[in-house]
RNA sequence: GGGAGUUUAGCUCAGCUGGUUCAGAGCAUCUGCCUUACAAGCAGAGGGUCACUGGUUCGAACCCAGUAACUCCCA
């Protein structure tokens, strides 16, 4: 196979992804290997791939591929969640476009449309993930409303109900008037909003005077049940026990006293509207006030409002301001900013609303779930999130699990004609239960609760239900794969999702659902703004892949992703990624271009031994990075291993020197074979990050003929190689020597092509005769000699504690040389002084650990040796 | 209002148990090179009062206290 000038990702990616699929490399079934399991955070069926998914799934894929290459039975379970509110909203919108209204449909018909929608759009993200290279076991793809998954949800509900942890109650809920459902506290996004504060006069009953209240919601005055003042407020003592009239509708309401009212906010008179404000509701309960609900489910005013009936709340607000003005009841308005809640799903302003809901008691579930994290059974990465988690779990409130929707698992509660209810898995079982209450009941007497369960109630079971562990708690799969290993998700859903999985894991299996939770940051643009559709600052991930290749984008994502911190994404990182791919490609081209000449003998043993050691050392470092989930650093360590150590140093050491007139470079067999072997190891180390490029090169004929199943994706990572640390340390000195030779060339404005003679006066134990080849090749040195005395009149430098001399054809600039040496001398003397200061300090000698002192002594000796050399050189220069 | 976090080079970030592997990496910048793998490259170079103030210590980017700015979560 001939090789193209640059790497072109597109066809490669398509080719190898299908190959992997065809050969079932992503497939996992239980066997006797150690399992390594990740369940995907199921994306919404409504979504399309965004940068957050890219980051999240790149990380998961790196982890899963690495585990696979370490010989584990790697299983990555993909799937989607049904996102009840968001999906229902989409379906309602779709129907509206077709001229169909949801309220004209039966539940059954509506669900048919919803499933149709899900089939059409629900798999988009998963398909897009394939472009990224995600090696999920697609045969395991799950959806939270699959029959078995839903059954698991119902089982869990029944289970919790039996324990008495699920109950019904009237509560003030966050009502989404657009979705026409309650949403949980966590699904409300608070935003600062500029509003107006309306000052409204209420006439005092039986007197001429009035009092003034301040409110942001004048349209709710018709629902007022009282006016509340602080009993300590001296301005209003005359109002104690009085009644006032609500303007426009002239309903009489009492003035009540409660210290709850802040005297210095507004006027100190608070209108109490129990039906439409959480705090007012509680105040109303305390003072036994009536609850007057003037809003419909869609937040239009109902007939209880008496006026503006049928108007939307916001339109009513504008209109009532005018009416109040006309009636002379509007004192003034002021600009005012406050926090308003918006539905995460529909972006409608949340309306506090009283309604009957299902709740799940949290304290009993939260307590053990907190322990898993506190005692380290479940590790949060980074650790800082433990505090946040604890704070939540210790202040947890009961969870509203019902949603007034159709798309989702319908609550398995069945009402008797009397209004009593039973909870059971099926209607038949419910009947049996119901008949215990009234033996004469038949199945037609039972009506199932209309509401569905919160989506998190089902995704909270995800790591168990994907292995059918709720319905069949002792099946082979759940026993093998559960607890899973790593979970990769966003901190915003630590409580929503992660905590609930830990709760259900403990409750159902007495076990944690996963050992490590890697929390990624939010992907922001380079200005630090969260990427969002509305801002239009998010690149299309698929465009990025088309432009930079999947490998390039994967590298780009990881380069800028410190664990748990937000990442400032910039396309330039992807560019760096694709540049890296190209570098590897070109290194490959070089090696591939070599022709072996069997008659040549190798003199690259040192280089080969060095890179072998360096490679093993780097593997250990990378392993260490992964153990701490420092993926960004693991990648950077790999990057530098390949680019610097392999390409810039090793290949330059061994590559056949340019020979005039020789068209093909020849190389000895030993070096060739070693280099090819190194390259193969490098492909393995790179594979988790750059699966496509590595797989492509893996199959090149350079490596001989490969069996069909011999693929990089299942190659085993090299382990436990030897590291010759002395050799590595000595090569570091050799690199310095080479750099200084190049520097000498640079400062004397000599061409790199001009070969130079080098004399070495070794003061250290390094045997330079073994490094001659390398120095000659990299430094373009034509004559290398080992000497015992300083060479006069030559340009010199020091590396380590050894001296080096280059005799130049041109006269060296003595003054410049002296200045350079003088500077070095000053630095060394200063350094020596600081070391001596420590060593002469009694308290240092008394307090510092012995190894620290040893180190200082070594530094002293080292500096003294160097200083002596510099001083000698200076003397030589003078003489 | 309560809680948490962040602040190190122009940018994005490392810096573990306080001590020469301590001020580092990648990118960007500057200079010189189209050198037979790669200009998406090669060879060099510059760049930081470790947010600020004080304290502890023989010794502080690191520990403690306070201040400032930014971010997130909860109310």
Per residue in A264-289, pLDDT tens? Answer: 777 888 899 988 887 888 788 888 88
> Strand pairing partners for A142?
A79
Domain ranges of chain A: 165-176+353-377+385-455, 193-347, 546-723, 753-878
Q: Across residues A850-872, what is the average pLDDT?
A: 83
**Do the first three CATH levels of A165-176+353-377+385-455 and A193-347 match, i.e. the same topology?**
no
Q: Would you say the C-beta of A717 is within 7 Å of strand B?
A: no
Per-residue confidence band for A1, with pLDDT thresholds at 50, 70 and 90: very low
Q: Would you say the C-beta of A23 is within 7 Å of strand B?
A: no
- What's the CATH code, domain A546-723? 1.10.730.10
- What's the CATH code, domain A165-176+353-377+385-455? 2.170.220.10
> Class assignment of domain A193-347?
alpha beta
Q: Across residues A432-441, what is the average pLDDT?
A: 94
pLDDT exceeds cutoff 70 at A538: yes
Q: Would you say the C-beta of A475 is within 7 Å of strand B?
A: no
Greater pLDDT, A452 or A871: A452
Greater pLDDT, A863 or A704: A704
Can you give the C-alpha Rg of chain A in angstroms?
37
Long-range contacts of A734-741 (CB under 8 A, 24+ apart): A734/A771, A734/A774, A734/A775, A735/A649, A736/A799, A736/A800, A737/A775, A737/A779, A737/A799, A737/A804, A738/A774, A738/A775, A738/A778, A738/A779, A740/A797, A740/A799, A740/A804, A741/A775, A741/A779, A741/A780, A741/A781, A741/A804, A741/A806
Position A830 scores a pLDDT of 79
Nearest protein residue to nucleotide B58 (CA to C1' distance) is A844
Q: Across residues A521-547, what is the average pLDDT?
A: 79
CA–CA–CA angle A470, A473, A476 (5° rounding): 120
Which residues of A make up each annotated binding site? Answer: 533
Nearest protein residue to nucleotide B73 (CA to C1' distance) is A388
Nearest nt to A594, CA vs C1'? B37
Q: Would you say the C-beta of A824 is within 7 Å of strand B?
A: no
Q: What is the phi/psi pair of residue A309, to 5°?
A: -60, 135
Structure ipTM over 0.90, yes or no: yes
Q: Would you say the C-beta of A643 is within 7 Å of strand B?
A: yes
Q: Which chain B positions come under 7 Å from a protein C-beta?
A: 3-6, 11-14, 19-21, 25-28, 33, 35-38, 40-45, 57-59, 71-75
Position A532 scores a pLDDT of 67
pLDDT exceeds cutoff 80 at A664: no
Contact between residue A405 and residue A85 where contact means Cβ atoms under 8 Å apart: yes
Q: Would you say the C-beta of A830 is within 7 Å of strand B?
A: no
**Distance from residue A630 (CA) to nucleotide B4 (C1'), in Å?**
22
Position A513 scores a pLDDT of 96
- What is the dihedral angle through the alpha carbons of A177, A179, A185, A188, rounded to the nearest 10 degrees? -80
Q: Across residues A806-821, what is the average pLDDT?
A: 78
Q: Tell me how far apart the alpha carbons of residues A856 and A412 are, in angstroms, rounded to a whole number.
A: 74
Greater pLDDT, A73 or A782: A73
Q: Look-up: residue for tokens 């069945």?
A: A414
| Lowest-confidence pick of A468-477, A489-498, A711-720 | A489-498
pLDDT exceeds cutoff 50 at A463: yes
Three-class DSSP category at A551: helix
Q: Would you say the C-beta of A633 is within 7 Å of strand B?
A: yes
Three-class DSSP category at A876: helix
**Where do runs of H (alpha helix) occur along A687-771?**
691-698, 725-747
Q: Look-up: residue for tokens 């939010």?
A: A522
| Lowest-confidence pick of A56-60, A450-454, A536-540, A740-744 | A536-540
Position A879 scores a pLDDT of 57
Residue A234 token pair:
């001296």
**Distance from residue A565 (CA) to nucleotide B14 (C1'), in Å?**
14
**Distance from residue A622 (CA) to nucleotide B59 (C1'), in Å?**
33
**Residues of A 838-867 whose CB lies less than 7 Å from any atom of strand B:** 838, 841, 843-844, 847-849, 852, 855, 859
Nearest protein residue to nucleotide B14 (CA to C1' distance) is A633
**Residues of A 551-610 whose CB lies less than 7 Å from any atom of strand B:** 559-560, 562-563, 565-568, 570, 572, 576, 578-579, 581-583, 586-587, 589-590, 593
Position A659 scores a pLDDT of 65
Contacts of A351 (CB under 8 A, 6+ apart): A175, A176, A177, A276, A295, A299, A313
Contact between residue A561 and residue A521 where contact means Cβ atoms under 8 Å apart: yes
Q: Across residues A365-378, what is the average pLDDT?
A: 91
Which residues of A make up each annotated binding site for ATP? Answer: 533
Nearest nt to A846, CA vs C1'? B58
The sign of the CA dihedral A873, A874, A877, A879 is negative
**Distance from residue A857 (CA) to nucleotide B58 (C1'), in Å?**
16
Nearest nt to A578, CA vs C1'? B40
**Distance from residue A638 (CA) to nucleotide B28 (C1'), in Å?**
21
Position A514 scores a pLDDT of 95
Sheet bearing A181-183, strands edge to edge: A181-183, A166-176, A351-360, A399-400
Contact between residue A783 and residue A758 where contact means Cβ atoms under 8 Å apart: yes
Q: Across residues A382-387, what is the average pLDDT?
A: 83
Q: Would you say the C-beta of A262 is within 7 Å of strand B?
A: no
pLDDT exceeds cutoff 70 at A533: no
Which segments of A460-584 are extended strands (E)?
484-489, 514-519, 523-524, 567-568
pLDDT tens-place string over residues A5-50? 778 898 899 999 999 999 999 999 999 999 999 999 999 898 888 8
pLDDT exceeds cutoff 70 at A660: no
Position A178 scores a pLDDT of 87
Across chain A, what does the average pLDDT equal? Answer: 89
Greater pLDDT, A409 or A380: A409
């Amino acid at each position: 196979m001939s090789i193209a000038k640059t790497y072109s990702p597109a066809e490669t990616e398509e080719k190898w992804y299908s190959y992997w699929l065809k050969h079932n490399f992503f497939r996992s079934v239980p066997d006797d290997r150690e399992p390594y399991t990740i369940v995907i955070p199921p994306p919404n069926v409504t979504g399309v791939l965004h940068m957050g998914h890219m980051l999240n799934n790149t990380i998961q894929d790196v982890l899963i591929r690495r585990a696979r290459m370490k010989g584990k039975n790697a299983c990555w379970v993909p799937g989607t969640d049904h996102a009840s509110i968001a999906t229902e909203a989409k379906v309602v919108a779709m129907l509206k476009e077709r001229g169909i209204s949801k309220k004209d449909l039966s539940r059954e018909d509506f669900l048919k449309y919803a499933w149709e929608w899900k089939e059409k759009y629900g798999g988009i993200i998963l398909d897009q993930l394939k472009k990224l290279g995600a090696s999920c076991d697609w045969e395991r793809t799950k959806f939270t409303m699959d029959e078995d998954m839903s059954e698991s949800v119902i089982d869990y509900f029944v289970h919790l109900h039996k324990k008495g942890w699920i109950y019904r109650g009237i509560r003030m809920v966050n009502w989404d008037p657009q979705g026409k459902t309650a949403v949980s506290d966590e699904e409300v996004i608070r935003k600062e909003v500029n509003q107006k504060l309306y000052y409204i006069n209420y006439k005092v009953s039986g007197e001429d005077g009035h009092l003034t209240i301040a409110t942001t919601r004048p349209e709710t005055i018709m629902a007022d049940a009282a006016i509340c003042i602080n009993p300590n407020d001296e301005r209003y003592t005359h109002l104690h026990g009085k009644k006032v009239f609500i303007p426009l509708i002239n309903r009489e309401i009492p003035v009540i006293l409660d210290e709850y009212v802040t005297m210095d906010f507004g006027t100190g008179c608070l209108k109490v509207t129990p039906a439409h404000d959480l705090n007012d509701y509680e105040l109303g309960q305390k003072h036994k006030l009536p609850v007057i609900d003037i809003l419909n489910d869609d937040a239009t005013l109902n007939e209880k409002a008496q006026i503006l009936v049928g108007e939307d709340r916001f339109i009513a607000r504008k209109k009532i301001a005018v009416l109040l003005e006309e009636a002379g009841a509007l004192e003034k308005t002021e600009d005012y900013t406050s926090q308003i809640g918006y539905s995460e799903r529909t972006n409608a302003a949340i309306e506090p609303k009283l309604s009957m809901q299902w709740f799940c008691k949290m304290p009993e579930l939260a307590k053990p779930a907190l322990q898993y994290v506190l005692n380290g059974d479940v590790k949060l990465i980074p650790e800082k999130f433990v505090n946040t988690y604890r704070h939540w779990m210790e202040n947890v409130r009961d969870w509203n699990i019902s949603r007034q929707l159709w798309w989702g698992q319908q609550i398995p509660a069945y009402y008797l004609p009397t209004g009593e209810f039973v909870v059971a898995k099926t209607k038949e079982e419910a009947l049996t239960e119901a008949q215990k209450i009234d033996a004469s009941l038949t199945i037609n007497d039972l009506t199932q609760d209309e509401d569905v369960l919160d989506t998190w109630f089902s995704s909270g079971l995800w790591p168990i239900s994907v292995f059918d562990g709720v319905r069949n708690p002792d099946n082979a799969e759940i026993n093998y794969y559960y607890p899973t290993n790593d979970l990769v998700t966003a901190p915003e859903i630590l409580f929503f999702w992660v905590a609930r999985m830990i709760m259900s894991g403990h409750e159902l299996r007495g076990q944690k659902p996963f050992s490590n939770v890697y929390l990624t940051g939010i992907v922001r643009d380079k200005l630090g703004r969260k990427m969002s559709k509305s801002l239009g600052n998010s690149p299309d991930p698929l465009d990025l892949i088309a432009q930079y290749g999947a490998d390039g984008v994967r590298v780009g994502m990881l380069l800028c992703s410190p664990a748990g911190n937000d990442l400032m994404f910039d396309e330039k990182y992807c560019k760096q990624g694709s540049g890296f791919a190209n570098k590897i490609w070109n290194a490959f081209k070089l090696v591939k271009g070599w022709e072996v000449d069997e008659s040549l003998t190798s003199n690259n043993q040192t280089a080969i031994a060095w890179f072998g050691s360096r490679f093993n050392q780097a593997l250990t470092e990378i392993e260490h990075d992964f153990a701490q989930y420092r993926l960004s650093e693991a990648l950077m360590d790999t990057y530098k291993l390949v680019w610097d150590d392999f390409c810039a140093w090793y290949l330059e050491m061994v590559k056949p020197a340019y020979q005039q007139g020789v068209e093909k470079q020849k190389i000895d067999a030993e070096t060739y074979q070693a280099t090819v072997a190194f390259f193969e190891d490098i492909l393995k180390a790179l594979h988790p990050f750059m699966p496509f490029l590595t797989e492509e090169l893996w199959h090149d004929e350079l490596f001989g003929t490969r069996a069909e199943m011999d693929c990089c994706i299942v190659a085993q990572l090299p382990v436990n190689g030897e590291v010759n640390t002395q050799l590595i340390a000595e090569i570091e000195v050799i690199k310095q020597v080479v750099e200084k030779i190049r520097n000498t060339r640079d400062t004397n404005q000599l061409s790199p092509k001009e070969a130079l003679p080098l004399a070495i006066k070794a003061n250290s134990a390094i045997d330079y005769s073994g490094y001659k080849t390398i120095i000659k090749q990299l430094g373009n040195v034509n004559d290398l000699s080992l000497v015992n005395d300083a060479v006069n009149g030559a340009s010199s430098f020091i590396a380590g504690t050894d001296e080096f001399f280059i005799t130049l054809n041109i006269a060296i600039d003595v003054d410049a040389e002296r200045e350079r040496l003088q500077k070095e001398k000053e630095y060394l003397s200063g350094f020596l002084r600081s070391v001596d200061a420590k060593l002469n300090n009694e308290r240092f000698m008394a307090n510092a650990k012995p190894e620290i002192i040893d180190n200082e002594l070594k530094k002293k000796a080292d500096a003294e040796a160097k200083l002596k050399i510099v001083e000698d050189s200076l003397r030589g220069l003078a003489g």
